[in-house]
Structure 1
Amino acid sequence: MNRWEDIIEVQLPLPFALKIINAFLIKGKNGYTIIDTGLHIQEDVDKWEEVQSQLGFKWDEVEKIVLTHYHPDHYGLAGTLQAWTGAPVYLSETDYKHAQLFLSDNGDMPEAMASFFSRHGLEVEFVEKIPAHLRSYHRFAEPHPSPSFIKAGDTIYLGDYEYQILHTPGHADGHLSFYDPARKWLIGGDFLLPRISPNISLWPRCDPNPLETYLSTLRQMKEIPVQTVFPSHGKVFHHYEKRIDTLLVHHKHRLEEMKKVLLRTKATTAYEICKQVFGEKLSIHNLRFALSEVLAHLEYLRVQGEIQSITKDGKVLYRIDC
């Protein structure tokens, strides 16, 4: 476990390409605060029990559990840890609603996603796999917590320091980050990662222009003086402004790449563009993220008036007028 003053990094294994999520444990005079939780899998349960044993605290010494956003690697063990500790679970109301939308057995989002991808050209053999694939993630987030809601503009004590709650959407609509102005520390979740670009995806029933939202978030957050970032994936880092600039350039280049593909083709689907940008040998897991990210960039360009879309035979086609 790595430590920075009162913050302890807890590395939790993931059965995905990312391999690790960094949760954080913060010690204060009133007990411990957990930031993000990992998945409800035995490996992550075992890791939390190992951490608890090594540090020698009791579960009832956890005073609160705070979630940056609803994605299962952050949200998944919240209900279990709440049962162990009796502590309140805090997150944004938007992201709790999205957790119910995406991770609850009662909803029809898997079918809605399959239909959405079908309209954007995904082949039938993959469309048919989407509902079962998405429902396979529900087990990672059960049981769901009974949450309390926090929002941007308020403050929250994490340990003995008062943090500003910041809304940092784009990767998730209700994503929150936590800023300590005394030390200029940012607990950023997936808002800003040191080596990879956070996935920015267009989903049905969510933000209709998530890339515009994320780029705006980056520009606004650049104005905040941050010296140290505690990210959910990758090492703690200090090149805050430079990393924001790098991501702004990355998305500029990706948008130009989309336009170049469209200049080489007639009107075509997002899926065909996805294959040219990301290749064709993708797992169903990686394919849905790749296609959703392509759609986020295409919709950004369409809203900006740089490309157009038409619907033909039930399929959405994108084109660029020379």
Structure 2
Amino acid sequence: MNHQWGDIYQVTLPLPFALRMINAYVIKGSSGVALVDAGLNIDMDVQAWQEAQAAADWKWADVEKIVLTHYHPDHYGLAGTLQQWTGAPVYLSRIDHEQAQLFFGRKSQMPETMKSFFAFHGLPDAWVAQIPAHLRSFHPWVEPHPQVTLLEPGETIRMGDVEYEVLHTPGHADGHLSFYDPNRKWLIGGDFLLPKITPNISLWPECHPNPLDNYLTTLARMKELEVSRVFPSHGPVFDHYVERIEMLEKHHADRLREMKAFVVEKAGATAFEVCQHQFGSNHNIHNLRFALSETLAHLEYLRIRGELSVEERDGIAYYMACAA
């Protein structure tokens, strides 16, 4: 347990990959507690939850609901186990419930789809061969899957003694939800807005075809909301809300400009070549998957805007500058 703000307690859960940790939240009320996000189904996170119980004086039987901002493993993974221990409903958006099964269902063909997808965009064979086993390696971290109660944007949900507005904040995940307390103007933002790192915006097969446009639209819409404090999933709680949104808008504008300039300079490049130019080549398969998918989100944004085109050569896609 790191910090407390009124009825909201932060729980820091360790992760066995680059992010290193995720913030979950316990919201205490007069009749019980709500948990926001779950961590992974790993011993370290179970221990962290047990330490959080001791620090803030609550028990599994006190949990009224488990609310997930989105389906990514570090948010979703332990939810099924927590549901078994608490008997509490697990809330998630319809889109992200479907995508949890798409990416982590045992019968899903996404590992093979992703393998073909990355090969088409220039990922070398030695990396392509690692994709299916890498994606399936997440299964133990997210099982058992919870029984989900669907949560729709525009609804409200009581967490503790507060009615939070349910806001759709897509980009990082298609069905990403954030939760807004209009009285205190507090936002539990998941991975929508982070204080120190930029949320990963990735293009995945069978998901939103223009995730960067989706995210930039979210930023512009959410900038109008009056927010005094943000409770993020990674990094410290912060209050420079509009400033942070504007920093991220500039970040993506700069990255789009850099990627387009590289494609123009090379007179055509694969997404993998652009990825290496932008992010370097010192990656493991986990980080490379995210770097390449983020590169594709930017390249597709430019293509859909008519600033780039795609040409297929020998089964590989090359992004090209459009004629003036």
Correspondences of 1:252-271 after superposition (within 5 Å): 252-271=253-272
Specify the code of the residue in structure 2 equivalent to 1:241. Answer: V
Give the root-mean-square deviation of aligned CA atoms: 0.8
Q: Give the match's secondary structure for 1:262.
A: helix
Correspondences of 1:23-102 after superposition (within 5 Å): 23-102=24-103
1:173-204 CA distance string (max 9 Å, x none): 00000000000000000000001100000000
**Partner residue, 1:241:** 242
Specify the code of the residue in structure 1 equivalent to 2:175. Answer: G
* Aligned 8 A contact 2:306 2:322 in 1: no
- 1:315 Cα deviation after fit: 1.0
**Partner residue, 2:117:** 116
TM-score (ref. length: structure 2): 0.98
**Partner residue, 2:177:** 176
CA distance in 2, matches of 1:320, 1:61: 58
CA distance in 2, matches of 1:235, 1:74: 17
1:241-299 CA distance string (max 9 Å, x none): 00000000000000000111012102221001111111111111110100000000000
Gaps of 5+ in 1: none
**Partner residue, 2:159:** 158
TM-score (ref. length: structure 1): 0.99
Gaps of 5+ in 2: none
- 1:56 Cα deviation after fit: 2.9
What count of residue pairs does the alignment treat as equivalent?
322
1:194-251 CA distance string (max 9 Å, x none): 0110000000000000000000000000000001000000000000000000000000
CA distance in 2, matches of 1:244, 1:87: 34
CA distance in 2, matches of 1:194, 1:183: 20
- 1:53 Cα deviation after fit: 2.7
CA distance in 2, matches of 1:160, 1:53: 21
* Aligned 8 A contact 2:154 2:165 in 1: yes
CA distance in 1, matches of 2:55, 2:16: 24
CA distance in 1, matches of 2:200, 2:56: 34
**Partner residue, 2:145:** 144
CA distance in 2, matches of 1:171, 1:180: 22
Q: Give the match's secondary structure for 2:75.
A: helix
- 1:129 Cα deviation after fit: 0.3
**Partner residue, 1:250:** 251
Question: Is 11-20 or 312-321 further displaced after alignment?
Answer: 312-321
- 1:58 Cα deviation after fit: 2.3
